[in-house]
Amino acid sequence: MNTLSVKSSLLITLFIFTSQLLLAQNRIISGVIIDSSDNKPIPFSHVGITNEINGSLANENGEFQINVNDETKSISINSIGYLTKVVEISDKTEFLRIELDLWENQLTEAIVMPKSALEYVQQALLKHQSNITNLPFSTQAYFSSSNITELSPDRNIKKNEAVFRTYYPNYSDTTLTNESQLILHRFSDNGVEVDMSMIDNKKVKKKLNKLEKKQAKRDEKELSQTESTETDENEEEVESNPFASGIGPDYVLNTFQKLVSLPIFDEYNMEKIEFTLGKPSFVDDRELITIHFHNDKKIMLMFTYTGTLYLDSESMAIVSLDYHEDVNIPGLIRPIIKSKTGINITGFENDVKINNQIQNELWYPQNIVYNSKIKLKDKMAFKDDKLLYFSSSHVFNVESIEIENPYIVDESFLFDSTKSYEEQVNPINGLDWKLINVIN
């Protein structure tokens, strides 16, 4: 064997050994986060590696998992209204039960708020552009999308899980398009189709059967060419089907970026919304102004809101927004929707939680949890005139942000929300699900 061959063999061996070593160094720590005062779980807390941007998100039950390596010495946990907690870990740490203390217990004197709640909101809207970055950056984010019919809650449609790399050319300019690359995708192992047992309407059954057949083919990875070349009429029918996959990552990203364009912040709509100051709060060593809001009179005859806005007390930046949106579709509009879908949709309910994070004194997206319900009621469609809720749940969690050297998505890898996930996966070498902070 010549010298060149020996060197090549050594390099290959070294590469394999190094790769295996790096893989072995990465491991997952799981745990649960609870309130120290009542032992109740704290949902959607942020779990991060101390002094790093990387982070995970607890689920609605306070359960989390985070990917760490041998160099990780501690993780930090923060949730609005609680003191940040840093927990040391070792190479033997596998599970953590973390108790957070309420921040209000630390207050020793009353905090005076010189302005009205509405004035604080208006100030935050005026300063929003200067509080968020206008420089390019990229993120790597975990995204999940799942659906369920409440006729049979234990029968879920399989959950989509994906990881996206997204390039933001200018986060403060909402006219520019962000560019995403789908780098990982999978369906959950469990889950079935929509429960048909309580549906009598033939038109409804026909639409749901189409969805079931399409989902089954995806699961088996046997999509035929005929499916991708469906007629325009069939494509329109699928798009109008309220049981389709629902909002996707593009919508979620728009919700982040166009936060101040939400109906609750429209100048005309704000006249119908009552804003009130709540007790000051706290997150990640920052004092927050708490503003509750609701409207008794419907906006545009359809929309009612109830929620809470958290502002950074120093910069007036929007740190978090948590709201419930109830949309009741007027009777005059329902026949139009029914003529398109064959289903009597009476309204929607959305529960949205948006959190931002600060880096270098500017604010970036952190995570969003978006739960949506479609309300259906039709004496001809459902037995016993029952109200059906079809629910969609979406989670988008930014795992990491690259500010200095953002990842620019290749034009040939751009994600298209009108196409299926499976045909658009463009992986990055060395990245697999073992390295992702999955939210269960």
Q: Are residues 416 and 349 in the same domain?
A: yes
Question: Would 222 be classed as within a structural domain?
Answer: yes
From CA 293, how far away is CA 305, in angstroms rounded?
7
What is the pLDDT at residue 41?
A: 95
Question: Would 111 be classed as within a structural domain?
Answer: no
Q: Are residues 175 and 43 in the same domain?
A: no
From CA 222, how far away is CA 220, in angstroms rounded?
5
Q: Are residues 85 and 122 in the same domain?
A: no
Question: Would 216 be classed as within a structural domain?
Answer: yes
Q: Are residues 366 and 339 in the same domain?
A: yes
Please provide the distance, in angstroms rounded to a whole number, between the alpha carbons at the two ends of the chain: 52
Question: Would 112 be classed as within a structural domain?
Answer: no
Nearest residue to 223 (alpha-carbon basis) of 234, 213, 237, 238: 213
Of the candidates 74, 106, 138, which is a domain's last residue?
A: 106
From CA 78, how far away is CA 65, in angstroms rounded?
15
Nearest residue to 284 (alpha-carbon basis) of 38, 100, 113: 100
What is the pLDDT at residue 329?
A: 83
Enter the pTM of the model: 0.78
Q: Are residues 191 and 235 in the same domain?
A: yes
Domain of residue 31, CATH code: 2.60.40.1120
Of the candidates 87, 106, 125, which is a domain's last residue?
A: 106
Q: Are residues 134 and 245 in the same domain?
A: yes
User: Can you say whether the dihedral through the CA atoms of 225, 227, 228, 231 is positive or negative?
Assistant: positive
Nearest residue to 351 (alpha-carbon basis) of 331, 368, 338, 332: 368
Q: Are residues 238 and 334 in the same domain?
A: yes
Q: Are residues 138 and 216 in the same domain?
A: yes
Q: Are residues 172 and 222 in the same domain?
A: yes
Q: Are residues 125 and 51 in the same domain?
A: no
Question: Would 140 be classed as within a structural domain?
Answer: yes
Q: Tell me the three state secondary structure of residue 416.
A: coil
Q: Are residues 322 and 410 in the same domain?
A: yes
Residue 259 structural domain: 117-435
User: How far is residue 263 CA from its own chain's centroid?
Assistant: 20
The pLDDT profile of the chain, 440 residues, written as one tens digit per residue, is: 554 454 445 444 444 444 444 444 678 899 999 999 999 999 999 999 887 777 899 999 999 999 888 888 899 999 999 999 999 998 888 899 999 999 875 655 556 678 899 999 999 999 999 999 999 999 999 998 877 655 444 445 567 899 999 999 998 888 888 899 999 998 865 544 443 333 444 444 455 455 555 555 554 554 444 444 444 434 333 333 333 334 457 777 777 788 888 888 998 899 899 999 998 999 988 899 999 999 988 887 788 999 999 999 999 999 999 999 998 888 777 787 777 766 677 888 899 999 999 988 999 999 999 888 887 765 444 444 455 567 778 899 999 999 999 999 999 999 988 888 888 999 988 888 888 888 87
Question: Would 384 be classed as within a structural domain?
Answer: yes
Of the candidates 80, 106, 132, which is a domain's last residue?
A: 106
Q: Are residues 359 and 227 in the same domain?
A: yes
Question: Would 246 be classed as within a structural domain?
Answer: yes
**Per the structure, how many domains does the chain have?**
2
Q: Answer yes or no: are the C-beta atoms of 428 and 183 closer than 8 Å.
A: yes
